[in-house]
Amino acid sequence: MKAWSPASGRARRESRPVPLRPRAVSQCGDAARPADLVIAIPVCDEIERVVACIDALAATLARRPQAGVVLLVNNSVDASGPTAFCALAACGIKAIVVETTLAPAMATAGWARRLAVDIAARWALPDAVLMTTDADGRVAADRAEANLALLGQGAHLVCGRIATDSAEAALLPVGVAALYDVERAYTALAIELDALLDHRPHDPGRITGWRPGPASPSGHATTVRSGGCRRFPAARIAPLQRWSNGTTCASATATRRW
C-alpha cells in the first residue's frame, strides 16, 4: 500500500490543483502505472452495497488488466473506504481509494464525482477512456467492452440504460408500479413532442430521450475538453451533456446498472 496524490499522476499534469485534502489515500495493484480505462466512483456510506459494486466491476474489467478504479470516499461515517479497498484488492483490481471530508456545501454526489473524475483524468493515459458509475449500482458484465466498441466506432459519448433490481422492485408498494406506468407514458409523449418542436440535424429522431448521466463513458480528451464534472451541487456530468448536443453520441442498451 502506497500513498498517492492527484498531483503525482504521470500521464497528465495540470497547473490547476484538485481542491482536495485527503484523510487517507491507498492504492492496490499496479497503480504506479497509468491506466488505459478508469472508472471513477463517488462513495458515501455505501458499506452495504459497495462490495457488490466492485464484484460487478471485476467482471466487466476481466479482459482489461491495465484498467483501474478510482473511489472518492467522502464524508462517510461507516467503513465504506476500508471495505471497498479490501474488495478491490481481493478482486485484483488496480485502484486508488481516496478518503476525505468535504465541506457541507461540497458534500454532494456531484462534487465527489467531479473530484473522482479529476483524479482519474490525471491517472489515465492520454488516450484512455473514462467511465463513472455509482457505488450502489452494479454494472453489466459486458459494459466495458460494449462501450469501448461504440467509442471505437466514432462515438464521443455513450449513454447507457439503468435497470431496476427486480428483487428490490418487488418490495415496493403496488401503487409505485402504476405510477411508473403513467410516468413512462407521459415521458414517451414528451419525447415525441420535443422531437417535433426542437429538430436537431445531428439527432433527427431523438427517439430515446436519454441524456448523459453519471454512467456515460467518454474518451479522456472529450472529458478534458468539456471541463469534466463541473462544480454544481447536484450535477452529474452536465458539461458533457451540453457538449454532446453537437457531437456524436451512441446508446448501449447492454450497458445497464442497478
* Nearest-angstrom CA–CA distance, 134 and 249: 21
User: 160 with 143: CB under 8 angstroms?
Assistant: yes
Whole-number Å distance between alpha carbons of 40 and 117: 6
- Answering whether pTM is above 0.85, one says no
pLDDT digits (tens, 9 = 90+) for 68-107: 999 999 999 999 999 999 999 999 999 999 999 999 988 8
Question: How much is the pLDDT for 98?
Answer: 96
CA dihedral 170→171→172→173, nearest 10 degrees, is: 100
- Grid cell of 132 as nine digits: 463513472
Going by their DSSP bridges, the two strands 94-100 and 218-219 should be labelled as unpaired
Residue-wise pLDDT tens digits, 97-135:
999 999 998 888 888 999 999 999 999 999 999 999 999
- The count of other CB atoms within 10 Å of the CB of residue 135 is 25
For each of the domains in the chain, give its residue range(s) and CATH number, in order of start. 6-162+212-257 (3.90.550.10)
